[in-house]
Amino acid sequence: MSWLRANMFSSWPNAIATLLIVWLAWKLAVPFFDWAFVQAIWVAPDSQVCRDAKGTGACWALVHEKHRFMLFGTYPFELQWRPVLVIVILLALYVVSALRACWRPWLAAAWIVGLATIGVLMWGGVLGLRYVENERWGGLALTLLLATFGIALAFPLSIVLALGRRSELPVLRLLCVIYIELIRGVPLISLLFMASVMLPLFLPEGMSIDKLLRAQIAMTLFAAAYLAEVVRGGLQAVPRGQYEAAQALGLSYWRMTLLVVLPQALRISIPPLVNTFIGFFKDTSLVLIIGLFDLLTTVKISIGEPKWVGFGVEAYIFVSAVYFVFCFAMSRYSQNLELELAGSAATGGAR
C-alpha cells in the first residue's frame, strides 16, 4: 500500500496519470486479451471457422496450418528434418558462444565444423543426402542462415576495415573511410537492388551467381561497414600506453595488433557488437524486397492465399513474436555482459 502511494500516487498529477493509464488499459488491454486468447481459434479444420469469428477472436489456426511453410519455405516436405537439424545446430552455436566459459580457441573450430555441417545438411548431394538447390531454402531457416553467415563473413572483414581506418598509411585509411561512409550513407535496399540487378553485369561472361548468394554478399558488405565502426570504437578505447608498451617491447605492427590491441579492443566492443547483430538480424527481413523466401516472405505469402486473406494482423503478430524472441534474448545478453565486463574491469584487470 505504501509502495502504491510512493510510486503511483505521490502527487495529484501522478495520481491522475495513474488513473488515466488504468482506465486506458481497461479499455484497450482487456479487449485485446479477450481477442488474442479467450476467444481465439487455435486449430481449425478450415478457414471458415476463423472467418465466422473474425473481429471477436484471433485466428491462430493460420499459424498452425502454415507453420511448416513459414519455418522452412518450399524445402521438400519429407526432407524438412534437415532444416530442423540446422536450426538446432545454429541455436546450439549461439548458446555456446554466449557462455564466457566457452570463449576458448576451440570455439572457432566448433563454428567452422558447425557451419560446414550446416552446408552439407542444407544442400545435401553427399553422404546419401538428396541434393536440394538453394532456391528452395526458406522460412526461419533461411533467415537464421542469412544472419549467421552474414555476421560470420562480415566480422573478419570489419576488423580489417577498422584497422585500415586507424592506420597511419594515408591511402589505406582513405580507401577504408570511403568504403565505410559510402555503405553507411545509403539504405540497405539500394545495396540489395544493386546486388540483384547490377552484380550480374559486373561479372565476366558465362559466370553467374544465384540470387541467395548475391543477397548474402550485399548483406555481408553492408554489415561489415557497420561492424567496422563498432570495432573502431573498441580500438579507440584501448589506452595509448598499451600501444606504446607493445612498441617498447619491440613487437611488430601485426604482433602488437594481434597479441595486445585486438584482444582488448574486441572485449570492450562485445556489447555494442551484439547490438549491431540485433540490427542486422532485423535487417535480414529486407531480402523480401528482392524476392527471397525468408521468414517474413513466407508469412506474407501465407496470408496471400485466398483461403487466409484477411488474417494479416495475426500473421504479423506471430512473425513479430519470433523476431522478438531472438532480438530480446540478444539484447538482454548484451546488457548483462556489459555489466559483467564493467564489473570485472572495476575489480582489476580484464581477466
Partner 1 sequence: MKFLRSGRSRALFFQVVALAAVLGALAFIVHNTMLNLEKSKIASGFDFLGREAGFEIGESPFILYSAADSYGRALLVGLLNTIRVAVIGIVLATILGTLVGLARLSTNWLLARIAGVYVEVIRNVPLLVQLFFWYVVITENLPGPRDAANPLTGVFLSNRGIAMPGVDAHPVYWWMLIAFIAGLVIAWLVARWARARQARTGQPFASFWAGCGIALGLPLAVFLAAGAPLKLDVPQLSGFNFQGGVVMTPEYATLLIGLVAYTAAFIGEIVRAGIVAVHRGQVEAANALGLSRRMTLRLVVLPQALRVIIPPLTSQYLNITKNSSLAVAIGYPDIVSIANTSINQNGQAIEGIAIIMAVYLTVSLSISAFMNWYNKRIALVER
Residues in touch with partner 1 (CB under 8 A):
7-8, 10, 14, 17-18, 21-22, 168-172, 175, 182, 184-190, 193-194, 197-198, 200-205, 278, 282-283, 285-286, 288-289, 296, 300, 310, 312-313, 316-317, 319-320, 323-324, 327-328, 331
State the DSSP string of 134-162: GGG--HHHHHHHHHHHHHHHHHHHHHHHH
User: Residue 29 or 116: which CB sits closer to partner 1?
Assistant: 29
User: Residue 132 or 276: which CB sits closer to partner 1?
Assistant: 276
Rounded to the nearest whole angstrom, what is the least distance from the CB of residue 176 to partner 1 in the complex? 10
Q: Is 41 helix (H, G, I), strand (E, B) or coil?
A: strand
User: Residue 182 or 350: which CB sits closer to partner 1?
Assistant: 182
Distance CA 260, CA 271 (A): 20
User: Residue 300 or 307: which CB sits closer to partner 1?
Assistant: 300
**Phi and psi at residue 88, to the nearest 5°:** -60, -45
Rounded to the nearest whole angstrom, what is the least distance from the CB of residue 77 to partner 1 in the complex? 26
Asked whether 70 and 316 are in contact (CB, 8 A), the reply is: no
User: Residue 109 or 313: which CB sits closer to partner 1?
Assistant: 313
Distance CA 153, CA 46 (A): 44
Rounded to the nearest whole angstrom, what is the least distance from the CB of residue 129 to partner 1 in the complex? 32
Rounded to the nearest whole angstrom, what is the least distance from the CB of residue 302 to partner 1 in the complex? 12
User: Residue 121 or 256: which CB sits closer to partner 1?
Assistant: 256
User: Residue 110 or 289: which CB sits closer to partner 1?
Assistant: 289
State the SS3 of 269-325: HHHHHHHHHHHHHHHHHHHHHHCCCEHHHHHHHHCCCHHHCCCHHHHHHHHHHHHHH
The set of residues, in sequence order, having a beta carbon less than 8 Å from that of 84 and lying 6+ positions away, is: 72
Burial class of 142 by CB neighbour count within 10 A (0 to 12, 13 to 18, 19+): buried
Distance CA 287, CA 276 (A): 18
Rounded to the nearest whole angstrom, what is the least distance from the CB of residue 188 to partner 1 in the complex? 8
Rounded to the nearest whole angstrom, what is the least distance from the CB of residue 172 to partner 1 in the complex? 6
Rounded to the nearest whole angstrom, what is the least distance from the CB of residue 9 to partner 1 in the complex? 9
